[in-house]
Chains A and B, each alone.
Chain A
Amino acid sequence: MIRFEHVAKRYPGGVQALSDVNFELERGEMAFLTGHSGAGKSTLLRLIAVLERPSRGQVLFDGKNVGRVSSGQIPKLRRKVGVIFQDHKLLTDRKVLDNVALPLLIAGYSWSEIRRRVRAALDLVGLLEKENTLIPALSGGQQQRVGIARAMIAKPPVLLADEPTGNLDPELSEELMRLFCTLNELGTTVLIATHDLDLVERLGRRTLVLKSGSMVDDRISNRSWRGDGGAVA
C-alpha cells in the first residue's frame, strides 16, 4: 500500500530530515513509527500525504509515485489518507460538528448524511455531547479526538497519526489505540508516529524506528528483529 524506495528529504536550508529510507506497509497492516523528536517521523508522514515531496527516491502509494503526481491530483490522493496531526489542525472558529464534517462536505455528501456520520464518529471517540461546542472550549485531548474523528469519518483506506496520544492521559491513550486497532481490523492501513514506547510494546505490533533521518530498526514489538533498515516484504 505504501512503499518507500531510497527516500531522502532535504529541506531548503540544508536540514536533512530523511536519508535513504526504505520500507513497505502492506494493505491492512498496522505499524508504529518511533524515534526521538527530530528523527524525521513527521516528515515521513507528510511525504505520504503529499504535504511534502521527496528530494530523492520514490514514495509509492497504491503503486503510484506520489512524488510525481500533478498538483491537480493531490486532493484526490489526500482523500485516501486520513491524517491526525500533532497540532490537531482544526478550524478554531467552528463547532466540533463542522470540523468533523469537513471531509464529507468536500466530497459533497448531503447534510443529513453528514449529520448522521458525524454523530457516529463522535460517538466512537466519546465526544457525542460536544457536537455543538466550539474548538477552543475543548481540552487538548478532546481536540485530538476531534482530529481523529475527522480523519476517519470519510473511511479512508489509510490512516496516519502523528503523536495522537501526545496530549492524552494513559487511559485515554489506551482507549484510542484500541480504536485504531478496531479500524485496522476493519481493513484500514494504519501508521502511527509516537514516542510512547510503553504503549507500542504492549500492543505488540510492527515498529519502525527512525534515527536522525534513517530507518534503523524494523521489528515486531520488542521481540523479533528484522534486519537493520532493509525493506520488509
Chain B
Amino acid sequence: MSRKDHGGRGDLRAWARRHAYGLLSSVGTLVRNPLTSALTIVVLAIALTLPLGLNTALVNLEAVHDNLDRLDSISVFLELEADEEGARRVASKLSSWRNILAVDPVSPDAGIRELAGASGLDRFDVGDVPLPWVLEVTPNSTVDIAELAQRLRRADRVDTVVVDMDWVRRLDAILHVFSRLIVLLAVLFAASVLFVISNNIRTEIERRREEIEILALVGATPGYIRRPFLYSGLWMGLGGALLAWLTVYAGLWMLSAPVEALAATYGTSAEMIAPSVQALGLMLAGSGALGIIGAWIAVSRQLARINP
C-alpha cells in the first residue's frame, strides 16, 4: 500500500484511523455480546473487590487504632499511706492538668474485686498485702503518653505509674499482619485478573477464529488483528475495577450505620473512610494494564498458529 493510495495524507493519519477502527471494533464486540461481557466484568469485579475491600477495612481500622490511643489509660499507683481523702485530692489536682481528660480513683477494695473478677476466682485472697489507691488517668488524644507518664511519676504522693500499652501494640502487630496479607491477596487476585481476562480473550479468539483468519488473509498485520482484543482486555479491566470500587463503596454505605452505632457506645463518632482517588486511579491503571497484558498473551499465542 503506497502513500499515494492514502490520498497523500500520510501514514500517521492512516495509523490513527487503524487505531480508531480497532477501538470501535472492540466496543462493537462488547456490545454484541452483552451477557458475556457483563459476566466477565462481574467476575473481575469480585476478584478485585476482595483486596480493595480488605484494604479499605485496614485503612478504617488504622484510623480507629489511632483513635484508640487516646482511650488508653494510665494507672497511677499512689503511696500506701494515701487514704481516700488524699487520693481524691491528688485526683482533683491531676484532673486540672491540661493533658489529662479524666481521672478516676479506684479504691483498694474495688481493686481487689476487679482483680478477683478478672482472674475468675470467687475470692481473691491477698492476705495482709495492703493495696494502694489507684487513679485511672485518661489522657488527651494529642498527648505523648510516655512524657505524661514521666510527669505523673514526679507528682506528689505517686508511687508507681503503669502504662498498659500492650494491647495497643498487639493491635498494631495484628494490623501489620493484616496489611501484609492484603499485599499477598492483591498479588493473587491480580494474577486471577490476568487469567480471567486472558482466558476470556482466548475464548473470544476461538469464537472469532474465522474472522482473524480472514483478516490475516486480506493482509492485516498482527498488530491490527491484536488491537481490538487489547482494547477488549482494557475495557474488561477498567470495567472490573470500576465495579469493584462501586461494590466497596456500597459496602461502606451499608456498614456506616452499624459502625456509627458501635462508635456511639464508645462515646465517639466514626466516619467510614472510602478508598482514595489515588487508590482508585491505581486500581484502574493496574487492572487496565493487566487486561492488556492478558489479552496480549492470548492473542500472540493464537496468531502464531495462523501465519505459517
Contact = CB atoms under 8 A, between A and B. Distances in A.
Interface string A157-198: 000000000000000000000000000000000000000000
A92 B9 CA distance: 32
A138 interface: no
A106 B224 contact: yes
B13 A108 contact: yes
Contacts of B5: 107, 154-155
B14 A109 contact: yes
Interface stretch (A35-43, A76-84, A204-212): A76-84
B4 to A, nearest CB: 11
A124 interface: no
A204 B6 CA distance: 37
B98 to A, nearest CB: 74
A75 B221 contact: yes
A159 B62 CA distance: 71
Interface stretch (B39-47, B140-148, B212-220): B212-220
Contacts of A30: none
A106 B19 CA distance: 10
Nearest to A91: B211
A231 interface: no
B124 interface: no
Contacts of B217: 49, 51, 78, 83, 85, 89
A105 B215 CA distance: 10
A102 interface: yes
A213 interface: no
Given A75-B216, A79-B219, A89-B214, A107 B307 contact: no
A52 interface: yes
A74 interface: yes
A24 B9 CA distance: 37
Interface size on A, as a range, is 20 to 34
B308 interface: yes
A119 interface: no
Contacts of A53: 308
Interface residues of B, number: 29
Taking chain B's interface residues, is the majority helix, strand, or loop, or is none over half, making it mixed?
helix
A150 interface: yes
Interface string B269-308: 0000000000000000000000000000000000000011
A71 interface: yes
Contacts of A79: 1, 218-219
B93 interface: no
A215 B1 CA distance: 33
A74 B1 CA distance: 13
Contacts of B216: 75, 78
Nearest to A71: B307
Nearest to A92: B210
Contact of B213 (A72, A89, A103, A113): A89
A110 interface: yes
B253 interface: no
A164 B219 CA distance: 20
A109 B6 contact: yes
Interface string A125-139: 000000000000000
A109 B17 contact: yes
A51 B308 contact: yes
Interface in B1-31: 1, 5-7, 9, 11, 13-18, 21
A107 B214 contact: no
Nearest to B22: A105
Contacts of A74: 307
A204 to B, nearest CB: 31
A48 interface: no
Given A71-B307, A108-B15, A78 B218 contact: yes
A90 B214 contact: yes
Contacts of A7: none
B1 A50 contact: no
A103 B219 contact: yes
Interface in B211-270: 211, 213-222, 224
Nearest to B19: A108
Nearest to A103: B218
B17 A76 contact: no
A85 B216 CA distance: 14
Contact of A108 (B14, B218, B222): B14
A105 B21 CA distance: 7
Enumerate the 10 nearest inter-chain pairs by beta-carbon distance, A residue then B residue, closest first.
A108-B14, A79-B219, A78-B219, A108-B17, A75-B221, A108-B18, A71-B307, A107-B1, A106-B220, A75-B219
19 contacts: A50-B308, A51-B308, A71-B307, A74-B307, A75-B222, A75-B224, A78-B218, A78-B219, A79-B218, A79-B219, A89-B210, A103-B219, A105-B18, A106-B215, A106-B218, A106-B219, A109-B6, A110-B9, A110-B13
Interface of A: 49-53, 71-72, 74-79, 83, 85, 89-93, 102-103, 105-111, 113, 150, 154-155
